[in-house]
Amino acid sequence: MKSYEIAGAKIEVEDRGRGLPVLFVHGFPLDHSMWQAQVDVLSQNFRTIAPDLRGFGASSPSSGTVTMRQFADDLVALLDCLKVTEPVVLCGLSMGGYVAWQFWRHHASRLRALVLCDTKASADTAEAVAGRHKLAAAVIATGHGAARDAMLPKLFSRNTPVAKPELIERTKMMIARAQPESIAAALRGMAERPDATPWLSEIRIPTLVVVGQEDAITTLDEMRGMAAKIAGAELVVVPEAGHMAPLEQPEVVTPAIASFLNCCSA
């Protein structure tokens, strides 16, 4: 891992390989290691850049509210530190997708293409906002276990806990690495993110949309609707996967991303 000071935080990043830069942005409340299967394969042909967002993994803890815009701005500063001037392919999962909308909106010249995994464009409903604040308070009061218990039952397909129990353990370990204040800060940031739906028809870069068929958080229907609004977007539906499709079915997701990247770099 490399480490950089960015806007008052230490940001850790795994930077491997050479070629077209691909920036992997993890979901909530995880870290860069959720992309390990993709990075191991894709770094043979591309430059894979997989940071821990501020507050997560080995990066500095955060507090208050961390907006999706702040995460996106951190990523651009990180690319500057890594001397990546060429536009990147941003591959984000869920919260990573919320960051992708901000990256597209505010740093379009740094973006070549999008891979949107198990995410959505819509903002939170009032009920979802209330749920985020309630969970933030619970995490502050009782620790990261409150986030683990809220998230784990929703993350995987029915079969994954039986067929691949090690993934549940890996996910628990990722969540345990985040400090309660950092988890709460990201929850508050997600609660105030804007609706990106009106932007979808303005996106004019190659876009791959990936969704686990059993995703309970960002459903197939929702993602199909989102993909339909982005001109030319390709949709890949991953069988026997839930919200964590890249982790659950790397044999399907990694080749899909590889073939998309090959088209982007052609």
Contact residues for ligand MLT, defined by CB under 6 A: 27-28, 94-95, 190, 217, 243
**For ligand MLT, the closer CB: 210 or 264:** 210
| Residue closer to ligand MLT (CB basis): 43 or 179 | 179
Count other Cβ atoms within 10 Å, centred on residue 198.
Answer: 10
Q: C-beta of 186: minimal distance to ligand MLT in Å? A: 9
What is the nearest approach in angstroms of ligand MLT to the Cβ of residue 256? 19
Residue 214's contacts (CB-CB under 8 Å, 6 or more residues apart) are 157, 158, 240, 241, 242
**140 or 263: whose CB is closer to ligand MLT?**
140
Q: At 58, which amino acid appears?
A: A
Give the neighbor-by-neighbor strand order of the sheet with 21-25.
Answer: 2-6, 9-16, 47-51, 21-25, 88-93, 111-117, 207-212, 234-238
CB of 94 to ligand MLT, least distance (A): 3
Distance CA 171, CA 144 (A): 12
Give me the least distance between CB of 229 and ligand MLT, in Å please: 19
| CB of residue 26 to ligand MLT, shortest distance in Å | 8
- Cβ-based nearer residue to ligand MLT, 20 or 23: 23
Q: Cα–chain-centroid distance for residue 109?
A: 20
Tokens 């960015």 sit at which residue?
6
Q: Which is nearer to ligand MLT, 139 or 190 (CB)?
A: 190
What count of other Cβ atoms lies within 10 Å of the Cβ of residue 208?
A: 23
